[in-house]
């Protein structure tokens, strides 16, 4: 579960950050670190980018780690695009020295073990208060593998495991608990950064997906979070949905249903119901 002795797990990209995008909390201190474990380059701007950017604006450092870089012949291009995208998004980028192959023809047992090692190593390295990753309900095999790896990596941490926020792209989260509302300027910011992934956007224009899903979620989120019949948020054009899990006494608890307040993003899960049991 630990990286090879003396060999760095992650390669930093400090130059990816544009100086004017590094923000601090109003009190001058950094609020904390949120680690995004992305199955692929581009997921950092498709999975839950409005949530990550809201935390960034509240003074959090967003560190994105791509678990894979796609097929070997495309890796250099995808890493270069990712570097540009993270710079535009104001996210730090750390690339694994040994990205994991999560293609359909990989050995699933070997890949799962490597992913769990990578997730555990990244958490140990970055020391986040929040980890964001795919969650249950995502039907992409690589996304599902990163979900399982993140779950196992957090579960084996002690004594203060980070809070876990999950998104789903190729499917629906079974138990969404956390919603992030955003506006046109945030959507534009996301789409401009996502466009740096020229190869992926050229293959399939995920910008349309991000916009359409956010519009749909603005209507679904109030009722999925607070019960059918709940009123929508006035003026909310776009939203993201996540599931929050907290590991308490080695039990996974579901977070409270709520809208994200980026200034107070963490709250007690209270009597949250059990997850994964």
Which positions touch Zn ion (CB under 5 A)?
39-40, 43
Distance CA(253)–CA(65), nearest Å, equals 25
- Shortest Cβ 39–Zn ion spacing (Å): 4
How far is it, in rounded angstroms, from Cα 217 to Cα 245? 20
CB of 167 to Zn ion, least distance (A): 11
Which C-beta is closer to Zn ion: that of 39 or that of 255? 39
The answer to whether the beta carbons of residues 33 and 238 sit under 8 Å apart is no
Q: CA end-to-end span of the chain, whole Å?
A: 24
Name which of 11 and 139 has its Cβ closer to Zn ion. Answer: 139
Q: For residues 66 and 272, which CB has a smaller minimum distance to Zn ion in the complex?
A: 66
> What is the rounded CA–CA span in Å between residue 9 and residue 70?
18
Nearer to Zn ion (CB atom), residue 81 or residue 246: 81
Shortest reach from residue 152's CB to Zn ion, in Å: 19
Task: Give the pair of three-digit tokens for residue 2.
Answer: 């630990």
| Nearer to Zn ion (CB atom), residue 118 or residue 225 | 118
Shortest Å distance, C-beta 112 to Zn ion: 16
User: Which residue sits closest to Zn ion, CB atoms considered?
Assistant: 40
Closer by beta carbon to Zn ion, 40 or else 163: 40
Nearer to Zn ion, 40 or 78 (CB): 40
User: Toward Zn ion, which CB reaches closer, 43 or 81?
Assistant: 43
In the bound complex, what is the minimum distance in angstroms from residue 226's beta carbon to Zn ion? 29
Tokens encoding 204: 């399939």
């Amino acid at each position: 579960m630990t990286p090879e002795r003396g060999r760095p797990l992650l390669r930093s990209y400090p130059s990816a950050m544009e100086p004017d995008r590094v923000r601090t909390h109003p009190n001058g201190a950094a609020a904390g670190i949120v680690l995004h474990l992305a199955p692929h380059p581009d997921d950092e701007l498709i999975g839950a980018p409005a949530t990550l950017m809201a935390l960034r604006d509240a003074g959090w450092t967003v560190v994105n780690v791509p678990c894979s870089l796609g097929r070997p012949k495309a890796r250099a291009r995808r890493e270069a695009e990712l570097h540009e995208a993270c710079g535009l998004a104001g996210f730090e980028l750390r690339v694994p020295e040994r990205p994991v192959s999560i293609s359909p023809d990989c050995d699933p047992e070997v890949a799962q073990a490597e992913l769990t090692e990578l997730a555990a190593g990244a958490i140990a390295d970055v020391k986040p208060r929040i980890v964001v990753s795919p969650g249950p309900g995502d039907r992409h095999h690589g996304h599902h593998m990163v979900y399982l790896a993140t779950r196992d990596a957090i579960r084996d941490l002690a004594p203060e495991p980070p809070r876990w926020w999950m998104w789903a792209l190729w499917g629906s989260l079974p138990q969404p608990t956390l919603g992030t509302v955003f506006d046109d300027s945030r959507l534009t910011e996301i789409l401009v950064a996502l466009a740096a992934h020229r190869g992926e956007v050229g293959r399939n224009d995920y910008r349309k997906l991000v916009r359409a899903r956010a519009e749909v979620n603005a209507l679904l989120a109030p009722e999925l979070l607070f019960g059918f019949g709940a009123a929508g948020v006035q003026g909310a054009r776009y939203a993201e949905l996540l599931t929050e899990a907290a590991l308490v006494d080695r039990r996974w608890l579901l977070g409270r249903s709520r809208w994200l307040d980026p200034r107070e993003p963490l709250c007690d899960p209270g009597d949250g119901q059990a997850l994964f049991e």
